[in-house]
Structure 1
Amino acid sequence: MLSFRPLLVISWCIFSLLTATPLAAKAAMPDAEVILNYNVNASNSWYPYYIAQTPEAPGVLGEIIPKILALANIKSRKHNFPPKRTNQALEKGFLDFDVVSPSWFEEKQLADTFVASNPIMPIMENIVVLEKNQQRWQRLSQIKGRNIGTVRGYLYHDDNEFTRVDFKSERELILALHKGRIEAAISGDYPALYWAKELNLPISLAAVHSSGDLVIRLRKEHIALLPAINQAIQTLKDSGELQQIIDKYTLATP
């Protein structure tokens, strides 16, 4: 994003804290329990993946990630950091995971310090334009050297090829398109269509910018947790619960 998504894709991030114990107790308990502290804080709301300030309907990932952690029997503690702070924490290695799509990265490769879970769900982003400009943006190569609307803190695998014009959220991207501040933006299809509908500001989805799957990007020091995380993802898929959550936020109400 997410590329469309927070650098921490909705900013889904965590840092681990060892349970506080006296030094003598730690010596007697070398395998002290790890609590994964995670942050759920998008730039605004990352519909339908994360929706801020609506605990009864927090979005697809807002519901799925806690279920994965619970099924994997991984204890967690939720925080609410601003994007800048979470980004810095990830860079410095204080965060343990976020939710990303490998398609957002150059050559679809994560850094060597991370491992990826099995796919959670598909994700796609497009070049987003006004309806009158759709035919002019049918090739991805057209973004080269241009000013392109992006979301502050989001990952874009090719942002060396265009000039980023950062905004706070996908909502602000749609407003900027209609105000003529930018001619094209990069956004996930669901967030762009959602905000266009909410704001009553029509847009068109042009060339596909990236497509892939969302995964949990886990720091390698926690690789031992990966099998349990993957099993939890598979359990949610096999039970149909994961698809039910996705449908709840992405299918039109009859």
Structure 2
Amino acid sequence: MKLGKKWFTSLVLTVGIGLVVSACGTSGGQQSSVGGAAGQGASDKVYVVGTDAAYPPFQMMEADKISGHDIDVMNAIAEAAGIKIEWKNTGWDPLFDGLDKGTVDIGISSITITEKRKEKYDFSEPYFEANQLILVAEDSPVNKLADLQGKKIGVQSATTGEEVVKKAFGDTYEGIKGYDDMPSAVDDFFNGRVDAVVADNGVLQYYAKKMTGKKYKLIKDDSFEKEFYGIMLKKGNTELLNKINQGLKTIKDNGKLQEIYKQYFGQQ
């Protein structure tokens, strides 16, 4: 989830997609037109939604506009809930800092709901179910996470992928290599700098569709626990949280959430 120009340059050369990512930590306001009849006559407050637009297909910069699965989900929720939102490309760490300081009202950026995070923040009901996958060479003998013992493993820092690897091999495991963003980790894998990458299924499956001509395989370790993404708010903002949950329930019930999922992942 953080920014990486290098990988996108490589990706453009290899698969010809036109993604342009803003520099790490920069902010890009993007007004959303959502906020339908349910919000008319109510508060004119515009809620700032922070994200890290460097985690395709969930969040990305496309033609100087923030787009992706999570962006479509949040826009649909806001429309269903009748609230007005404005997008801000905060970056990963500044997203949490923004919630702490009140410069960001809502955070959505493939954020896994964890007990540790729930101590400090409130979360909506889950909107996406995820699990970790392992990216390795096509001819690799690796069949599970334990087989990576002694190998160089790329992860995005401060993500559940990093937690999974550290849990398996220890916090001081010398083979782990943390990256500010997932694109850079994948780039290093294809350039032979790491032997494997551990990351969320949605992201690696997205890359798999784009990496034509590259030889690799994706492995699911049954020991990996399921994860759930949620929309994050500063603790105590109960009124806004209730509105978001109601909007989320609406798009689950009317099929909009599933429609967005199929648009990006092409399956149920």
**Normalising by structure 2, what TM-score?**
0.67
Secondary structure of 2:226's counterpart equals: strand
Aligned partner of 2:243 in structure 1 is: 228
What is the CA-CA distance between 1:232 and the residue it aligns to? 0.7
Aligned partner of 1:157 in structure 2 is: 163
- Closer/same/farther in 2, CA of residues 57 and 215 from structure 1, 3 Å limit: same
* Counterpart among 88, 93, 101 of residue 112 in structure 2: 101
Q: Which is richer in strand?
A: 1
1:35 aligned onto 2:46: yes
* Counterpart among 27, 39, 58 of residue 49 in structure 1: 58
Contact 1:126 1:205 in 2 (8 A): yes
What is the CA-CA distance between 1:182 and the residue it aligns to? 0.6
* Counterpart among 160, 185, 210 of residue 198 in structure 1: 210
Secondary structure of 2:75's counterpart equals: helix
Aligned partner of 1:118 in structure 2 is: 125
- Closer/same/farther in 2, CA of residues 52 and 114 from structure 1, 3 Å limit: same
Deviations 1:42-85 (A, max 9, x none): 3x3x2221232158892211211122123223332222334454
Aligned partner of 1:86 in structure 2 is: 95
One-letter code aligned to 1:237: K
- Closer/same/farther in 2, CA of residues 177 and 52 from structure 1, 3 Å limit: same
What is the CA-CA distance between 1:145 and the residue it aligns to? 7.1
1:216 aligned onto 2:234: no
What is the CA-CA distance between 1:249 and the residue it aligns to? 0.8
- For residues 101 and 85 of structure 1, the distance between their equivalents in structure 2, rounded to whole angstroms, comes to 17
- Which stretch shifts more, 58-67 or 237-246? 58-67
Contact 1:171 1:195 in 2 (8 A): no
Contact 2:66 2:89 in 1 (8 A): no
1:187 aligned onto 2:199: yes
Question: Mind listing any 5+ residue stretches in structure 2 that lack a counterpart?
Answer: 4-23, 28-42
What is the CA-CA distance between 1:225 and the residue it aligns to? 1.8
Secondary structure of 1:118's counterpart equals: coil
Contact 1:170 1:192 in 2 (8 A): no
Contact 1:193 1:203 in 2 (8 A): no
Secondary structure of 1:157's counterpart equals: helix
Deviations 1:100-135 (A, max 9, x none): 122xx4xx44342212211112122212211222x4
Q: Pairwise CA RMSD of aligned residues?
A: 3.3
**Normalising by structure 1, what TM-score?**
0.70
What is the CA-CA distance between 1:151 and the residue it aligns to? 2.5
- For residues 250 and 56 of structure 1, the distance between their equivalents in structure 2, rounded to whole angstroms, comes to 21
Corresponding residue pairs, total: 218
What is the CA-CA distance between 1:171 and the residue it aligns to? 3.4
Question: Mind listing any 5+ residue stretches in structure 1 that lack a counterpart?
Answer: 15-31
- Closer/same/farther in 2, CA of residues 170 and 136 from structure 1, 3 Å limit: same
Deviations 1:11-65 (A, max 9, x none): 9xx9xxxxxxxxxxxxxxxxx86532122333x3x22212321588922112111
- For residues 128 and 59 of structure 1, the distance between their equivalents in structure 2, rounded to whole angstroms, comes to 22
Contact 1:6 1:154 in 2 (8 A): no
- Closer/same/farther in 2, CA of residues 87 and 235 from structure 1, 3 Å limit: closer
- Closer/same/farther in 2, CA of residues 56 and 97 from structure 1, 3 Å limit: closer
Contact 1:41 1:52 in 2 (8 A): no
Aligned partner of 1:28 in structure 2 is: none
One-letter code aligned to 2:46: I
One-letter code aligned to 2:256: E
